[in-house]
Amino acid sequence: MSMTQPEILVRGTCPVCAADVVPAARPEESELLPCPECRTMLVVDGTAGGRVVLSEAPRIEEDWGE
Amino acid sequence: MTVLAVFHSTVRLEEKLLLEAARTKGVEVRLRDIREEVLDPRSFPLDFDVALERSVSTVKGDYLIAFLESLGAPVINTAAVARACGDKFQTSLLLERAGVPTPRFALAFGLEPARAAVARLGGYPVVVKPPLGSWGRLLAKINDDDALEAVLEHKDVLGTPPQKAFYIQEFVRKPGRDVRAFVFGRETRCAIARESAHWITNTARGGSARNYPLTAELRDVCARAAAAVGEGLLAVDLFETPDGLTVNEVNHTMEFRNSEMPTGYPIAGAVVDYALARAKGRA
Ligand SMILES: Nc1ncnc2c1ncn2[C@@H]1O[C@H](COP(=O)(O)OP(=O)(O)OP(=O)(O)O)[C@@H](O)[C@H]1O
Ligand SMILES: [Zn+2]
């Protein structure tokens, strides 16, 4: 669930362009964030070895919304 | 201690705000990704007192709600509310039946009936919407017969089956903005006006939000709209017209990221409180 380790700056790697991505302070699993370099929308899958695991976010589907 | 389960898929800013609010209140939260759940009624762990459905996918959210209700677990919103709000035609029918002011609307399945519908709604312009859509996607303002024919043909050829049900609404000449009210039960807690130079004013589409005063009329219309769809945690969208407020639609998985600031109302915290008040043994 929460991957809070306030002292450690968590980073990840963009799976599309390999850029170094620094999420906001407290990334939640399944949270979205754009890659600062290639602008692909990414999703936080979890953490492994002190790093955030990122993958390409799912595309918006027909039934998405409020 | 009361345990609140938040059933989610993609975590939006709203879900983060809800988590933060719950943690601040010292509430125990179970985050459960519905994409990883097995909805088996014989083995599903009911390790919470109340559930909040926050799926970004309406289809998955609806199944989850129906499932939890069948197990007797309190879930917000209820299946009845989700059914009423998930489909714009359903919502409109309920509002109409309850006598809540709402724009004229009709549903048609082909071009000729759609033409007839436009005539009965008072002529062009009209707005054609996918009955199941959101975020202002695939909305079409149609000004003449040629455009109607083109848009409906595109839907027929390229659309998914739900898009081949043509939900048609009179175009409401609103003053460059519309109103969204956050309604808890039958009570309107806060509201915003969404402004945009474009006729689609959703903040999801770049409209800007400012506080809207809670007038007696707003409270009354929203209370009646909420009652018509079954009461819950609702975002009621309204238009201002010369004849007063009219309800465009009601949303049951409210997005509120742009509304806490202008209204000064802690929506996330109020959502958590509303859920806790409906936890097992308290309702
Ligand atoms: N009949 C109408 N007349 C004038 N403007 C309209 C009409 N219907 C919709 N709009 C405009 O388009 C916007 C989006 O419409 P609507 O809320 O029906 O779609 P939606 O995709 O369900 O959006 P959401 O669920 O995110 O609020 C409205 O906020 C309004 O500004
Ligand atoms: Zn990238």
List domains and CATH numbers for chain B: 3-85 (3.40.50.20), 104-170 (3.30.1490.20), 174-278 (3.30.470.20)
Q: Residue A35 burial (CB < 10 Å; 0-12/13-18/19+)?
A: buried
Domains detected in chain A? 11-56 (2.20.28.160)
Best CA proximity match to B182, nearest among B96, B268, B109: B268
Name the average pLDDT for chain B. Answer: 95
Predicted pLDDT of residue B134 = 86
pLDDT at B46 over 60: yes
- Name the residue among A28, A57, A63 with its Cβ closest to that of B57: A63
Residue A9's pLDDT is what?
Answer: 63
User: pLDDT per residue over B149-183, tens digit each?
Assistant: 999 999 999 999 999 999 999 999 999 999 999 99
Report the percent of chain B where pLDDT is more than 70.
Answer: 98
Q: Name which of B89, B92, B90, B85 is nearest B62 in CA terms.
A: B85
In this prediction, residue B133 carries a pLDDT of 81
Q: What is the pLDDT of residue B283?
A: 47
**pLDDT score, position A57:** 93
Distance from the B79 Cα atom to the nearest Cα atom in chain A, whole angstroms:
15
Distance (Å) from the alpha carbon of B119 to chain A's nearest alpha carbon: 29
A7-63 pLDDT tens trace: 456 789 999 999 999 887 778 889 999 999 999 999 999 988 888 999 999 888 889
Amino acid making up residue B68:
L
pLDDT of residue B6 exceeding 70: yes
Taking the C-alpha atoms of residue B268 and residue B43, their distance in angstroms, rounded to an integer, is 31
What is this model's ipTM?
A: 0.82
Handedness of CA A59, B84, B62, B53 (dihedral sign): positive
Ligand 1 atom closest to the CA of B173, numbered from 1? 4
B23: closest chain A residue by CA = A2
